[in-house]
Amino acid sequence: MSSEAIYGELANAVLSFDADKVLETTRKALDLGLGPGDIIENGLGKGLKTVGEKFERGEIWLMHLVAAAEAAQRAIVELLEPEILKRKEVRASLGKVVLGTVAGDIHDIGKNIVRALLTATGFEVHDLGKDVPVKDFISKVKETDANILAASALLTSTAPVQKDIIDALKKEGLRERVKVMVGGSAVSAEWAEEIGADGYAPNAAGAVELAKKIMRIK
Amino acid sequence: MRCRVEVLSRDEIYDIHVASLEVLEYTGSTFQSKEALKIFDDYGAIVDYEKFNVKIPGYVVEELVRKAPKKFIIHGRKPKYNVEWGGKKQFLDLGGDYPYVIDMETGKRRFGLLKDCENFTVIGDALENIPQPYPVIRYPHDVQEDLQHVELWMTHYKNTPAPCLIFSEDRDKAKDCVELTAIAAGGEEELKKKPNAWNAGMCPSPPLLFGAKLTEGVIECARFGLPIWIMPMDNVGATAPITLAGTIVQTNATNLAGICLTQIVNPGVGVSYGDISVVTDLRTGIPSVGCPEQALHCVAATQMAKYYGLPSEIWGGISDSKIVDAQAGYESALTLLPTLLAGANRVVSGALEYHYSASYEMLVIHDEIFGMAKRMVEGIEVNEDTMAVPVIKKIAPLAATKAGGHYMAEKHTLEHIDKERYVPKISDKTSRDVWEKAGSKDLRQVARERVKEILAKHVPEPPPQDILRELEKKAEEIKKRILKRRKQSQG
């Protein structure tokens, strides 16, 4: 089987929105000797690009976009990243993102969609989960030398924690090293500006665009 | 379970039925057409030629109404354009007879023109919920009165492959249109076998008065087996009793009288039970359509149509407002939704200012309201698959984990999206940021842009060129005939 054919099969698996099929095809690609980086770039990535275009054209719904991204994310996290580590390769990533829903807030669906889309797009995502204390964001940024810190808040009562994070980054002398993205229902562009964040996106697709912009990727 | 709305109990429906029979048998209805009087007379009704009065015994009414079909098909240019009236089929109609149009550019009211007839047909052709679009302006101001039906027929035919329409204001006009329709059908025999048009309406004038010309146009259509659309326009509190029950008795009796005539002329010809009643505004005397009594009346009329098992055209769904505003939206929705939930087959769209002005913007807004209401009619399907217990069992425990749990990427979700969800077409569902970036548009502006987009891009399936040529020739011939008639009558 030619590598072109298997890349095509990977892309089609993503377009079927079926995670099992994506995992199975990814395994097959690895067994055939294809490199994990190539599988992401030429196979899964191509499929996701088509999914994104279909979504933009209104041919498929948000759920399809999320299903495709999560399927690709699972293949990357469960199969390809371990393989990269095993081969001691350096993964070409678009950037490192530390992600989490802020302390006091357990509304994480938006954050999870952002995680799936960022991972599937090629970012290295370190997801801290929900109800994440400020100090955990800070230590993860230090540990990973992240490019972006992305914090979400759904409640108006928890949005101020985003400001606490920025203040803590300043206190630790990290503010210049990391860009801060904020999102969630309680958040707006005005709020992002008020607390001194670097950017805000109203939805998951917007978050990916914003992350790319921050990393100066076209 | 499909959603249902009822305002009359079974007993009340029966009481109204009996009361209507009493009116028809003892008071009778007025038919100004000599031909109609003779048809009733020959059938055994009690006819007073001097008073134009027709009294039909109750058992005869019941016998005749039973002959009308429960549902039937009007043939489009191809089978996929066929339209079924009756049963559970529900769709949006374009209203009609509006003298005015709200101009999209100026926002001002003006007379309807032939171009508007073309535009409304094209937009209706493009919209999802309008399977039989037609020229909503019946008297285009830029066409001479006696030629209007020919121009309208041609404009309609050229701009949609949906069934044709007979403009039957009088017998001659009906005959002219039937001639054209027969060519489109492939001959008179084909037309009778597969009716490809419906009659533009038997519009009795309340109380219980059937004008001569319209009635004779209807008789002509019924003879050819073309379905008839009866549309009494009782005006609650003015030309009908102030009580809704009284108006319903009168509307119902009017429908039954019209149905009787069609079934004597051609037993089994399709006929739709109609109601375009209005409610007299207590201060202005203007016929209001966007009021709670209208909604109740529409539901009651739908129930009566269903009692007789007949297809129904019930005009809930428009507004008294003069512009596209909140009043236009809530009045349309509050009269359309219950009418549809009651099970009416056809409801109305595309107008403002009671039945006075056609509105381009409201047409696409009504298409949206109808889509939402139709989804509500479908109700909630409850079965093992839709109750989704296995997927809940899978996802709910994940809520506590770092990865989190949601249903968006589940197979069950993707499989059910199309059936479960209505997809809004013009309503704004975006975030404030996105909405502001797109120009902070209100619905009126969005609707206007949608109309312009349709008019710029939508090309209705063109008619077969050979038939079109034949029709154009025939239309010229008919017009010459009319001009000759005009000259003769001018002496």
Domains of chain B in start order, with CATH, are 64-378 (3.20.20.480), 387-457 (no CATH)
Q: Does domain A96-214 have CATH number 3.40.50.280?
A: yes
User: Could you tell me the CA-to-CA distances from B187 to B149, B193, B472 in Å, in that order?
Assistant: 20, 10, 16
CA B391: distance to chain centroid? Answer: 43
pLDDT at A2 over 90: no
Distance CA B103, CA B109 (A): 6
Distance CA B409, CA A62 (A): 9
CA B277: distance to chain centroid? Answer: 13
CB spacing of A70 vs B404 below 8 angstroms: no
pLDDT higher at B85 or A37: B85
| Burial annotation B233-253 (CB, 10 A radius, 16+ → b, else e) | bbbbbebbbeebebbbbbbbb
Q: How does residue B168 score in pLDDT terms, banded at 50, 70 and 90? A: confident
End-to-end CA distance of chain B: 66
pLDDT tens per residue across span A111-153:
888 988 898 888 999 999 989 999 999 999 999 999 999 999 9
Average the pLDDT over each of B166-170, B268-272, B310-314 and give the range with the smallest value. Answer: B166-170
pLDDT at A156 over 90: no
* Percent of chain A topping pLDDT 90: 55
The CATH code of the domain at A3-86 is 1.10.1240.10
Question: Mean per-residue pLDDT for B299-320?
Answer: 96
CB spacing of B433 vs A108 below 8 angstroms: no
Tokens 């020919």, located at residue: B150
Per the rule left: phi > 0, alpha: psi between -120 and 50, beta: everything else, A216 is left
Contact of A185 with chain B, judged by CB distance below 8 Å, is answered with no
* Percent of chain B topping pLDDT 70: 100
Q: What is the mean pLDDT of chain B?
A: 94
Residues of B with CB under 8 A from a CB of A: 401-404, 406, 408-411, 413-414, 417, 431-434
| Of A67, A108, A189, Cβ closest to residue B409 | A67
Q: Which of B386, B412, B418 is nearest to A17 (CA)?
A: B412
CB spacing of A129 vs B414 below 8 angstroms: no
pLDDT higher at B251 or B168: B251
Q: Which of B209, B192, B173, B165 is nearest to B266 (CA)?
A: B192
**B417: which chain A residues are within 8 Å (Cβ-Cβ)?**
61, 63
Distance CA B467, CA B184 (A): 7
Cα radius of gyration rounded to whole Å, chain A: 18
**B410: which chain A residues are within 8 Å (Cβ-Cβ)?**
67
| Of B408, B417, B433, Cβ closest to residue A202 | B433
pLDDT tens per residue across span B436-457:
999 999 999 999 999 999 999 9
Tokens 């001691």, located at residue: A88
**B428: which chain A residues are within 8 Å (Cβ-Cβ)?**
none
Q: How does residue A218 score in pLDDT terms, banded at 50, 70 and 90? A: low
Alpha-helix runs per DSSP H in B198-265: 212-223, 244-265
Tokens 């939704």, located at residue: B337
Contact of A71 with chain B, judged by CB distance below 8 Å, is answered with yes
Angle, helix A3-15 to helix A19-31, in steps of 10 degrees: 170
pLDDT tens per residue across span A169-214:
999 999 999 999 999 888 888 999 999 999 998 888 889 999 999 9
The CA-based angle A202-A206-A208, given to 5 degrees, is 135
Cα torsion through A63, A67, A69, A70, rounded to 10: 130
In the sheet with B312-314, reading across from the earlier edge strand, the strands are B91-93, B346-348, B312-314, B271-275, B228-229
Question: Mean per-residue pLDDT for B274-284?
Answer: 92
CB spacing of B408 vs A63 below 8 angstroms: yes
Identify the bridge partners of residue B109 per DSSP, sorted by sequence position.
B102
Q: Which of B17, B19, B23 is nearest to B54 (CA)?
A: B23
In the sheet with B351-352, reading across from the earlier edge strand, the strands are B109-111, B100-102, B357-359, B351-352
Question: Mean per-residue pLDDT for B124-148?
Answer: 93
**A108: which chain B residues are within 8 Å (Cβ-Cβ)?**
404
Per the CB < 8 A criterion, the answer to whether B18 and B26 are in contact is no
pLDDT of residue A16: 95
Read off the tokens for A166.
């920025």
**A20: which chain B residues are within 8 Å (Cβ-Cβ)?**
none
* Percent of chain B topping pLDDT 90: 88
From the CA of A69, how many Å to the nearest CA of chain B? 9
| Burial annotation B142-155 (CB, 10 A radius, 16+ → b, else e) | ebeebbbbbbbbbb
CB neighbours of B346 closer than 8 A, spacing ≥ 6? B85, B90, B91, B92, B93, B272, B311, B312, B313, B314
Per the CB < 8 A criterion, the answer to whether B471 and B184 are in contact is yes
pLDDT at A10 over 90: yes
Distance CA B398, CA B9 (A): 50
Tokens 């964040």, located at residue: A197
Task: Report the 10 Å Cβ neighbour count for B480.
Answer: 10
Q: Which run of H or of E encompasses B411?
A: helix B411-420
Q: What are phi and psi of A156, to 5 degrees?
A: -65, -25
**B401: which chain A residues are within 8 Å (Cβ-Cβ)?**
129
Per the CB < 8 A criterion, the answer to whether B369 and B424 are in contact is no
From the CA of A203, how many Å to the nearest CA of chain B? 8
Break chain A into its structural domains and give their ranges.
3-86, 96-214
Q: Return the residue of A nearest to B435 by Cα.
A: A202
pLDDT tens per residue across span B474-489:
999 999 999 998 898 8
ipTM over 0.90: no
pLDDT tens per residue across span A49-69:
899 889 888 899 989 988 998
Q: Return the residue of A nearest to B416 by Cα.
A: A63
pLDDT of residue A85: 82
CB spacing of A17 vs B414 below 8 angstroms: yes
Q: Return the residue of A nearest to B408 by Cα.
A: A63
pLDDT at B416 over 90: yes
pLDDT tens per residue across span B46-79:
999 999 999 999 999 999 999 999 999 999 999 9
Q: Return the residue of B nearest to A206 by Cα.
A: B434
pLDDT tens per residue across span B380-415:
999 999 999 999 999 999 887 777 788 999 999 999
Question: Mean per-residue pLDDT for B84-89?
Answer: 94
Q: What are phi and psi of B463, to 5 degrees?
A: -70, 160
**A127: which chain B residues are within 8 Å (Cβ-Cβ)?**
402-403
From the CA of B400, how many Å to the nearest CA of chain A? 9
**B409: which chain A residues are within 8 Å (Cβ-Cβ)?**
17, 19, 63, 66-67, 69-71, 116
pTM assigned to the model = 0.90
CB spacing of A202 vs B434 below 8 angstroms: yes
Q: Return the residue of A nearest to B421 by Cα.
A: A61
pLDDT tens per residue across span A84-121:
888 877 777 889 999 999 998 888 888 888 988 898 88
Contact of A76 with chain B, judged by CB distance below 8 Å, is answered with no
CB spacing of B404 vs A19 below 8 angstroms: no
CB spacing of A109 vs B404 below 8 angstroms: yes
pLDDT at A22 over 80: yes
Q: How does residue B108 score in pLDDT terms, banded at 50, 70 and 90? A: very high
User: Could you tell me the CA-to-CA distances from A144 to A10, A99, A136, B250, B283 in Å, in that order?
Assistant: 30, 12, 12, 81, 75
Distance CA A13, CA A39 (A): 12
Interface of A with B in 88-117 (CB under 8 A): 108-109, 111-113, 116
Identify the bridge partners of residue B441 per DSSP, sorted by sequence position.
none
From the CA of A41, how many Å to the nearest CA of chain B? 22
